[in-house]
Structure 1
Amino acid sequence: MIHAGRKTVHAVAWNYASFALSKGVVLITMAVLTRLLPPETFGIVSLATIIISYFSLLQDLGLGSALIQQRNDVQEAANTVYAANLVIGILFFLFTFAIAPAVAVFFRAPAVEPMLRILALTFLIDPFGSVHIALLQRDLAFRKKLIPDLGRLLIKAVVTIVLAVKGFGAWSLIIGQLSSSLSGVILARIALRQKLRMRIKKPQLGRLLKFSIPFMAFNLINALVSNIEFIVIGRTLGDAALGIYSITYRIVDLLIMNVWVVLAGAMFPALATIQHQPHLLRRAFLSVTQYVQVFIVPISLGLIITAEPIVKVLLGAQWLGAIPILRLLPVAFLIFSIGTTAGDIYKAIGRPALLLKMGILHIMILIPLLLVGVQYQLVGVALSLIATAFLVKIVHLFVIVRVIGVTVSELMRALRPAFVGGTALTIVTTPLVYSIGDQPPVVQLLVAGVTGAAAYFGTLWLLEKEVVIKGANTILDAVRR
């Protein structure tokens, strides 16, 4: 039997492969669309997707996570979640359809009303594939999960770009999202050919809800945390500012935040299998924390150092206002990423209420800082996120040490390789980028990327060779399995 920590990293390797391919498609699509559509278009669509994104995080009431955590009567639980998800989806569709006019009035944007009502159709579509995705995660079948993950994005990219070229404007983004939902359901059912029945067993639903209700409450808070700055920007700074912020945020989200989101998708089901073995949970947590930071640190620093050429190459001249934001947001995301995967430990051991408490603390700190920061435009918003990340992380690390039993010295040893390599990357790459500032942006990115990678991984090889070898062997083993 593969050691729990190693098994978890195997799952992470495949889940990250899915992430890397999928987000590569998203970045290419973004590079095309930002040259076809102005910031205002992305801003107006973001106003509609804010609501959809918020409800989407709540759509299954945490039942998907409860299903992953379930150890017995899995088929019966899957049938119950399948039926419950459809009922919930219908309710969310009706509610979203009804509030669309009020949302349009709140944002002073009449175009939001029809967009929101069309996007609400995703609540009726997604339930037909969500349980299949949860079961794939539960079984750590991330090779199969790659089919819907990548396929839906390829279809969305083609549909959106074709419609944008034909002059559909904002509607190209709306219709592209619908095509993503529909194709995702079809491909999920192809990847997992398991028959599900819409049959709710009340005792089973009660057991699932006992786990999922605290998790759902956390999702409620987390959804607010994830969307509150978009609401504030859209209400106070307008469509163009929201368009710039939303695209910049998406870049950082794709390259940094999704690393730990992808990790959570692989780590939680793996940890659920060893939920009664604390020493294995601690070891798995430290192992995965180490390798997540090995990924996140160089990406974060790379975005900060090369923000200007990235914007010029990826987005184009009309998006230069994104440069200062791209230099600040990675700082907040990097701080948030440290030890964040402890949340999956809390879920695995059946203590999701801890996530709720952390979420409440987060929102209590974020809202007042954000209301002050928005007075200083987008830069002020980004700085408020950095301050929030710092304050929340202090408390978060204290909870990790107390609950999981990981010592501060163990955590520092896990973080050491990434930050040693990151120091070398910063020292070498920062002056280099400024010295070649007169070169074309593509050249700047290539030179900085190659030099930064050489400095980072070269330093790891010299000072942390064991980490590099172990990580490479784990990834190779995962690919062979």
Structure 2
Amino acid sequence: MTSFRAKILSAGLWSGFDAGLRFGVQFGVSIVLARILSPTDFGIYALTAVFIALSSVLVDGGFCSALVQRAEISRAEETAVFWYNGIAAFVLGGAIAAMAPSVARMFGHPVLEHLLYVSAIIVPINAMAAVPGSLMQRHLRFDLLAKSGLTASVLSGLLAVVLAINGVGIWTFAWQALAHAVINVVLLWLLSGWRPLRGTSIAAARPLVRFGFFLSLSNLLEVAYQQGFALVIGKLYGARDLGYFNRGQNLQILPANVLTLVITRVTLPVLSTKSDPAELRSGVQLAQGVAMMGNLPLMGALVAMPDLIIDVLYGPKWLPAAPILRILAIGGLLIPMNAVNVQMTLARGRSELYLKTEMIKKAIGILIVCLASIYGGVIGLAVSQAAFLCLSFAVNATVSGRFTGYSPFEQLWDLRGPALLTLAMVALIGTVKPFLEFGSLINIAILSVLGGAFFVSTALLLRVGATNQFLALLPSRRVATRKSAP
């Protein structure tokens, strides 16, 4: 048991290291690019990201998650998934290339056609990384995932900065994405040592079809809903407004994505080995508690000072994104909790139940988006996104509670301490902010230190939320705990 817990702790730390640095590098590069390129450039490329995201879900077919979730898996099944991914990727890449001229005409940006041609090449390259990456996750080898992902992010990011500085413009995004895909795939194959078997039929993946099929449809609904925002905004309001929404959303999902990536990587393989409801409830409670202790104050800071954050990071030309960011951050409070509840359902192998919940959520979500796009403009779409995240939590937590006995109300009640502390921090920042007149950079530094010190010191003093679990992760505390153990 001690060895198992140590393995989980090591996996969690490596996953956090990988996610934090990788997203940090990507975010740093995006800051540089935002100061060189225009909101319209970001908006146009966001349209190509829609097709890459949709293709990735269709290519995977849910099989890679099945490789992680199943108790036992054979080399023949791994190989079958690899070949399925490859064939599907080439078909979808060809479809993207065929649609490129029509899409460019639809949105009125001729450059979209050639950008989509590059996207069509990226899809099959990414598919080659799917199985080796999933097997590393299955075996909790996040140290290897960190080496490949971080290296690809750093090298492709440096290339993007050089290209942007030298006036390549919107093509910077395309070459960055292509470079990242190639580097990541090469490193994953070198580090994993995995190779497909010869002579294996795709039919060998048949045992994975049921779980993978329902999960794939669920993921397709999720991606179509999320990426649909880009299509709606790009068509109705133009690439410039899409660029503002894209940057606001990027800031909102950055901290949540890091925490969610760590959670989903570790909780699915770990919870899949448990069956006792009490253990499952304890696992969900711990994962949510730790994640929300990081997510709540970060989202609170985005709510309290979005204008300062936008101005310092991206520059004054991006300030129209500030109100969008504030609204999205409110919805972003619940993202890690949604992720934990979804992983709980998938860990039980109930991908068909997950699909049913996604269909219910997306039906309501699409109605909200339609109303918002007609009456609320871009701000209305941001409000609809925040409302949808709240709805998603209620549904996901209710479904997950069937396996754990941990209801949505109980989950929220257990986080009352961190939530109240975050509200107090936001109130403190909001009270002090109007009196600061030193410029955006100094103001944000003062408010960040003030708010962060208040949150951390109060949490430590009152042992709020998962503070004790955080302290247990410190090396000195772990050493002391081992020495004091009988």
- Distance in 1 between the 2:333 and 2:220 partners? 23
Cα distance, 1:455–1:7 mapped onto 2, change above 3 Å: farther
Equivalent residue number for residue 244 of structure 1: 244
Query: Does the 8 Å contact 1:4/1:270 carry over to 2?
Result: no
Displacement of 1:315 = 0.3
**Corresponding position: 1:342 with 2:341:** yes
Cα distance, 1:341–1:439 mapped onto 2, change above 3 Å: same
Equivalent residue number for residue 353 of structure 2: 354
- Distance in 2 between the 1:314 and 1:359 partners? 35
- Distance in 2 between the 1:223 and 1:155 partners? 27
- Distance in 1 between the 2:408 and 2:172 partners? 50
Equivalent residue number for residue 29 of structure 1: 29
Query: Does the 8 Å contact 1:82/1:197 carry over to 2?
Result: no
Question: RCO greater where, 1 or 2, for CA within 8 Å and sep 6 or more?
Answer: 1
Query: Does the 8 Å contact 2:256/2:335 carry over to 1?
Result: no
- Distance in 2 between the 1:168 and 1:479 partners? 50
**Corresponding position: 1:183 with 2:183:** yes
Query: Does the 8 Å contact 1:11/1:267 carry over to 2?
Result: no
Equivalent residue number for residue 461 of structure 1: 460
Equivalent residue number for residue 53 of structure 1: 53
Residue aligned with 1:282, SS:
helix
Residue aligned with 1:471, SS:
helix
- Distance in 1 between the 2:277 and 2:7 partners? 16
Equivalent residue number for residue 229 of structure 1: 229
Equivalent residue number for residue 101 of structure 2: 101
- Distance in 1 between the 2:17 and 2:352 partners? 31
Displacement of 1:362 = 2.0
Aligned residue-pair number: 478
Displacement of 1:279 = 2.9
Equivalent residue number for residue 482 of structure 2: none
Query: Does the 8 Å contact 1:233/1:242 carry over to 2?
Result: yes
Letter matched to residue 311 of structure 1: I
Cα distance, 1:409–1:164 mapped onto 2, change above 3 Å: closer
Query: Does the 8 Å contact 1:289/1:339 carry over to 2?
Result: no
1:63-117 alpha-carbon deviations (Å, 9 max, x no partner): 1101111322432222221121111111111111111122223222222111101
Cα distance, 1:467–1:181 mapped onto 2, change above 3 Å: same
Query: Does the 8 Å contact 2:35/2:314 carry over to 1?
Result: yes
Letter matched to residue 372 of structure 1: L
Query: Does the 8 Å contact 1:271/1:345 carry over to 2?
Result: yes
Displacement of 1:326 = 1.1
Cα distance, 1:303–1:367 mapped onto 2, change above 3 Å: same
- Distance in 1 between the 2:277 and 2:156 partners? 42
Letter matched to residue 155 of structure 1: L
1:220-262 alpha-carbon deviations (Å, 9 max, x no partner): 1111121111110001000111111112211212122342133
Displacement of 1:393 = 2.9
Letter matched to residue 442 of structure 1: L
- Distance in 2 between the 1:235 and 1:69 partners? 39
Equivalent residue number for residue 170 of structure 2: 170
Structure 2 gap ranges (5+)? 480-486
Structure 1 gap ranges (5+)? none
1:364-396 alpha-carbon deviations (Å, 9 max, x no partner): 122222222234322111111122233333333
Equivalent residue number for residue 316 of structure 2: 317
- Distance in 1 between the 2:478 and 2:321 partners? 37
- Distance in 2 between the 1:479 and 1:182 partners? 39
Equivalent residue number for residue 291 of structure 2: 292
TM-score for both structures, normalised by structure 1 = 0.93
1:4-61 alpha-carbon deviations (Å, 9 max, x no partner): 7886555333212211111211221111111111111111111122111221122210
**Corresponding position: 1:65 with 2:44:** no
Cα distance, 1:355–1:2 mapped onto 2, change above 3 Å: farther
1:178-228 alpha-carbon deviations (Å, 9 max, x no partner): 001000101212321223336544553110112100100101111112111
Equivalent residue number for residue 216 of structure 2: 216
Cα distance, 1:50–1:475 mapped onto 2, change above 3 Å: farther
1:281-319 alpha-carbon deviations (Å, 9 max, x no partner): 221111101111111101100111121111111101211
Structural mapping, 1:259-408, within 5 Å? 259-274=259-274, 276-374=275-373, 375-407=375-407
Letter matched to residue 67 of structure 1: L
Equivalent residue number for residue 125 of structure 1: 125
Letter matched to residue 364 of structure 2: I
- Distance in 2 between the 1:34 and 1:381 partners? 23
- Distance in 1 between the 2:346 and 2:393 partners? 19
Cα distance, 1:352–1:180 mapped onto 2, change above 3 Å: same
Letter matched to residue 144 of structure 2: K
Cα distance, 1:453–1:209 mapped onto 2, change above 3 Å: same
1:110-167 alpha-carbon deviations (Å, 9 max, x no partner): 2211110111111221222221111110011111210112111111111111111111
- Distance in 2 between the 1:92 and 1:281 partners? 38
Displacement of 1:336 = 4.0
Cα distance, 1:20–1:426 mapped onto 2, change above 3 Å: same
Query: Does the 8 Å contact 1:86/1:128 carry over to 2?
Result: yes
- Distance in 1 between the 2:423 and 2:319 partners? 28
Displacement of 1:354 = 2.1
Query: Does the 8 Å contact 2:264/2:339 carry over to 1?
Result: no
Query: Does the 8 Å contact 1:14/1:142 carry over to 2?
Result: yes
Q: CA RMSD in A?
A: 2.3
Cα distance, 1:5–1:389 mapped onto 2, change above 3 Å: farther
1:398-442 alpha-carbon deviations (Å, 9 max, x no partner): 323334322467524542342133133123222122221x22111
Structural mapping, 1:5-44, within 5 Å? 8=8, 10-44=10-44
TM-score for both structures, normalised by structure 2 = 0.92
Residue aligned with 2:108, SS:
coil
Equivalent residue number for residue 484 of structure 2: none
- Distance in 1 between the 2:156 and 2:41 partners? 17
- Distance in 1 between the 2:293 and 2:5 partners? 16
Query: Does the 8 Å contact 1:13/1:478 carry over to 2?
Result: no
- Distance in 1 between the 2:245 and 2:3 partners? 42
- Distance in 2 between the 1:414 and 1:199 partners? 53
